[in-house]
Amino acid sequence: MSTIAPVNQPTQPHDPDNGPATTVIKSWKAPIVLGVFTVLGFLLLVVFGRSGVSTMSLSTSSDLIQLPDVLLPTRETGIVVTVLLAAITGVSVWMVQSSRKVPIWLYSVFAFLLLLGFLAWASADERIPVPGLLFGSLSLAVPLIFGALGGVISERVGVVNVAIEGQLLAGAFTSAVVASVTQQPLLGLLAAMIAGVLVSFVLAAFSIKYFVDQVIVGVVLNVLVTGLTGFLFSQLLAPNKALLNQPPKFERINIPLLSEIPIVGPVFFRQTLIVYIMYIAVAAVYFGIFHTKWGLRLRAVGEHPQAADTVGINVTGTRFWNVSLAGAVAGLGGAYFTLGSVGAFGKEMTAGAGFIALAAVIFGRWDPIRATLAALLFGFASNLQNVLSIIGSPVPSEFMLMLPYLVTIFAVAGLVGTSRGPAASGKPYIKS
Amino acid sequence: MKLELRGITKRFGALVANDDINLTVEAGEIHALLGENGAGKSTLMNVLYGLYRAEEGEILLDGVAQHFAGPGDAMAAGIGMVHQHFMLIPVFTVAENVMLGHEETTLGGRLDLAAARVRVKEISDRFGFHVDPDALVENLPVGVQQRVEIIKALSRDAKVLVFDEPTAVLTPQETDELMVIMRQLKDAGTSIVFITHKLREVREVADRITVIRLGKVVGEASPTADNEELATLMVGRAVDLTVDKAPATPGAPALVVSNLTVVDRTGQVLVNDVSFDVKVGEILAIAGVQGNGQTELTEALMGLQPRVLGEISLDGKSLRNRSVRQVLDAGVGFVPEDRTRDGLVGAFTIAENLMLDRSNKLPFVKRFNLQLSYLADFARSKVREFDVRSQGIETPVGRLSGGNQQKVVLARELSRDLRLFIAAQPTRGLDVGSIEFVHERIVATRDAGTPVIVISTELDEVAALADRIMVMYRGRIVGIVPGDTPRSVLGLMMAGANPQEGAAA
């Protein structure tokens, strides 16, 4: 798929001042992908286009400022979107031909248009509540974001964290039990963090102290936590539901003023305490990793542990405690399942969220902000499926259930390509 | 600061790496630690730097005994180290690398990058280093990376600086610049320990020389001692530093490479429009500083590079876009530059390694069965012929010394019917005895009428072996010159100057 075209031919073969020559490898990946989606869009929106009017409501009934609904004629919207998609594909062909890189914003515009067209098509003669769609996306993304933050911290310090799933599940279980018994959701939150740290201890001890393959320890831990919580659930929680599995949920807190901003307010500022903690956590992890001593040392240990060692940094200790911290953060995500959304523990209730979080870490290229955005994307894909099944979309629900995972595979495999993670991630540091 | 090491003994299991070593470095002196690869120089310095704990002995600074639990303690006491493999984080900037481990912070725990930049700038200006504090280390040439290492040590107020084989990765020009820097540091009162196995450099810069062999101090020498004397001390017997070699009698061109270009997956051109030939019965040495396209060129010849333009032909048959199997079957023998990674399977026995490249046909394999008795006979005869010192042919090669490992690789490659022999860095990391052996075999291969390519970053080796020398710089051929070209000209060419200018200089 790539053609090599050497430029900078050595007209002066012995010129030492020329920098290393480069060749532009034309990659037709972008136009092909965009082209395929344009054809799919054409088939769905025009050939199998539906007629009617799609309604998108932008405000909830409790909003102070009421925005009018947006009415889109379904078929016409589909045609306009398809034409625009084809135009963007054309632009990308032109860009590759003239050896230019297709900018990321062009992909974003393309994705947005495709999404808009799909929503309009799916909601012919129906109403899509946009704030509700986004609110649900954020809710579903919360545990993913906590999990991804835990993943970022752990991988940046050099330990692959496949055990996010186990940390989430342990957090969910423990917070449910502790909050039920004490009737204190805050204590449940604390317990979830401790549970995550305990799972991390096992991961850290085996991978850092005993040099066991980190991925294998992670997988085994996930199986262990799934089995353990499942057993305790059926033996203890199910028979004693009132005592052990009826935790008080966190109340929603409306932030004054901010919560009244149209669309943004209801989505971001009418949330529970855990979500607000998450906002702070994302900012704190970002600032910490890139602007503090802690982060500099953490990254150094994950990139080149021997170099860190030679400037007097304790590699083993740094890894151990940061993997533990990662567990605490992921544990918080687990608490959201029981104290934030569902309100009780259920067997295997995390349902693979830990693995999606891991995908978000890679899709986000080990950057806390980008990983958060990736988690939000996955949350959106999940919630889109919920909303469309409620309004009765013509797409089979089985197919819609695949959506979040399809998005994950496309995002990680297709868009990321080969991104470079921390150099020493997954490699034990063995001092001779 | 005066550094004293008294009676240092360090063991790794049964191996005594350092045996009762005494060493005194006066303040403001450059003290060379001379020894062969594996003599225990680096071990000693790692003990000094707190990376290893010695079983016996003590370290004194200005007469005060020190106890280093780790590098942090050694640094705090004023010892800095410029490691052979740079201890720099490639994705960090210069300033971040320098501040790592003793970071200053401003309000709210924010890293004080501005202060680190000032510090880098200040030290860099003091010694005329011209290092940009905001450059990413991975984008810097190795010579500059080394200066970053020096800045790193100096920013921690190092009074004793250890240079561990600092010239291994440098061009001759960069080496000269480093010598100037070392003298500058010395004048500023820093004590310097200079670890090396290169005699020329020692005599140029050292105030005193301590020679160690097999973990023991075997003598002291003054910088006025001549090469033969130092070499004899270092190796423990009289060594012949030249290679016996009759003048080449080159025949027809066998390997013809025209307009060869190698591109990596990001589009970077690694080998840029290279054309040359190698004649029957001659040794073409490819000289150049590591990383100027030599590795990729040999890989392209062997069929190991996927993106290759141009033409390669051996005895008139094209070798371009052939699989490695096809290249081997065409009669090409190859000694890779990293023998432990690409040349051998460490856990396999000597015998198994000897048949790695012929596991598909008679007489080693009959239908699906290994012919173990044939292999054993073959291995025994090769071990004898190539003087591989081991417990027997069932010894895993991972347990052999570097010299014996290289002999196994040579035995395998040279026991086929060769039309071309390529040896990349054939003596890297070997002791003098093995170097002599490898050089003899390479010359013998040439004399048997095989065209030979030797890739080496060591000018001594290039000068000793080559009938013609091709110098590469940034993926291009700077020039192809006769084997007796003076070292100074080669040095300039390795930095990219063309041969006409070089000859005039």
pLDDT at A97: 87
Of A285-289, A325-329, B482-486, which range is least confident? B482-486
pLDDT at A3: 44
Q: Which residue has the higher pLDDT, B227 or B176?
A: B176
Q: Which residue has the higher pLDDT, A11 or A133?
A: A133
A-B CB pairs within 8 A amount to 125
pLDDT at B499: 65
Per-residue model confidence as pLDDT tens digits over A130-183: 888 999 999 999 999 999 999 999 999 999 999 999 999 999 999 999 999 999
Report chain A residues whose CB lies below 8 A from the CB of B263.
4, 6, 23, 25
pLDDT at A205: 94
Q: Do residue B100 and residue A9 have CB atoms under 8 angstroms apart?
A: no
Report the mean per-residue pLDDT for chain A: 87
Q: Do residue B474 and residue A18 have CB atoms under 8 angstroms apart?
A: yes
Q: What is the mean pLDDT of residues B155-161?
A: 91
Distance CA A324, CA B170 (A): 43
The CATH number of domain B3-235 is 3.40.50.1260: no
Q: Do residue B72 and residue A14 have CB atoms under 8 angstroms apart?
A: no
Q: Do residue B263 and residue A25 have CB atoms under 8 angstroms apart?
A: yes
3-state secondary structure B129-190: CCCCCCCEHHHCCHHHHHHHHHHHHHHCCCCEEEEECCCCCCCHHHHHHHHHHHHHHHHCCC
Q: What is the mean pLDDT of residues B488-496?
A: 87
Q: Is pLDDT above 60 for B40? A: yes
Q: What is the mean pLDDT of residues A221-236?
A: 95
Q: Which of B71, B76, B479 has its CB closest to that of A310?
A: B71
* Confidence band for A12, pLDDT divided at 50, 70 and 90: very low
Q: Which of A9, A18, A307 has its CB closest to that of B87?
A: A307
Report the mean per-residue pLDDT for chain B: 88
The residue extents of the domains of chain B are 3-235, 253-331+417-504
3-state secondary structure chain A: CEEEECCCCCCCCCCCCCCCCECEEEECHHHHHHHHHHHHHHHHHHHCCCCCEEEEECCCCCCCCCCCCEEEEHHHHHHHHHHHHHHHHHHHHHHHHCCCCCCHHHHHHHHHHHHHHHHHHHCECCEEEHHHHHHHHHHHHHHHHHHHHHHHHHHHCCCCCCCHHHHHHHHHHHHHHHHHHHCCHHHHHHHHHHHHHHHHHHHHHHHHHCCCCHHHHHHHHHHHHHHHHHHHHHHHHCCCHHHHCCCCCCCEEECCCHHHCCCHHHHHCEEEHHHHHHHHHHHHHHHHHHHEHHHHHHHHHHHCHHHHHHCCCCHHHHHHHHHHHHHHHHHHHHHHHHHHHCCCCCCCCCCCHHHHHHHHHHHCCCCHHHHHHHHHHHHHHHHHHHHHHHHCCCCCHHHHHHHHHHHHHHHHHHHCCCCCCCCCCCCCCCCC
Per-residue model confidence as pLDDT tens digits over B385-441: 998 888 889 989 988 888 899 999 999 999 988 999 999 999 887 877 888 899 999
Per-residue model confidence as pLDDT tens digits over B319-378: 888 999 999 999 999 999 888 888 999 899 999 999 988 877 778 888 888 888 999 999
Q: Do residue B102 and residue A311 have CB atoms under 8 angstroms apart?
A: yes
Per-residue model confidence as pLDDT tens digits over A75-88: 899 999 999 999 99
Q: Is pLDDT above 60 for A10? A: no
Per-residue model confidence as pLDDT tens digits over A68-115: 888 888 889 999 999 999 999 999 999 888 888 888 888 889 989 998
**A100: contact with B, CB 8 A cutoff:** no
Q: Do residue B109 and residue A292 have CB atoms under 8 angstroms apart?
A: yes
Report chain A residues whose CB lies below 8 A from the CB of B99.
296
Q: Is pLDDT above 90 for A39? A: yes
pLDDT at A404: 75
Report chain A residues whose CB lies below 8 A from the CB of B268.
20-23
ipTM over 0.90: no
The answer to whether B3-235 and B253-331+417-504 have equal CATH topology is: yes
Report chain B residues whose CB lies below 8 A from the CB of A9.
273
Q: Which residue has the higher pLDDT, B321 or A401?
A: B321
Q: What is the mean pLDDT of residues B467-473?
A: 94
* Confidence band for A365, pLDDT divided at 50, 70 and 90: confident
pLDDT at B241: 64
Instruction: Compute the nearest-CA separation of B100 from chain A (Å).
Output: 7
Question: Best of B137, B320, B476, B478 to disrupt the A interface by mutation (most A CBs within 10 Å)?
Answer: B476
* Confidence band for A59, pLDDT divided at 50, 70 and 90: confident
Distance CA A405, CA B93 (A): 38
User: Domain B253-331+417-504, what fold?
Assistant: Rossmann fold (3.40.50)
Q: Which of A4, A18, A312 has its CB closest to that of B101?
A: A312
The answer for A 272-301 residues in CB contact with B (under 8 A) is 291-294, 296-297, 299-300
**A307: contact with B, CB 8 A cutoff:** yes
**A11: contact with B, CB 8 A cutoff:** no
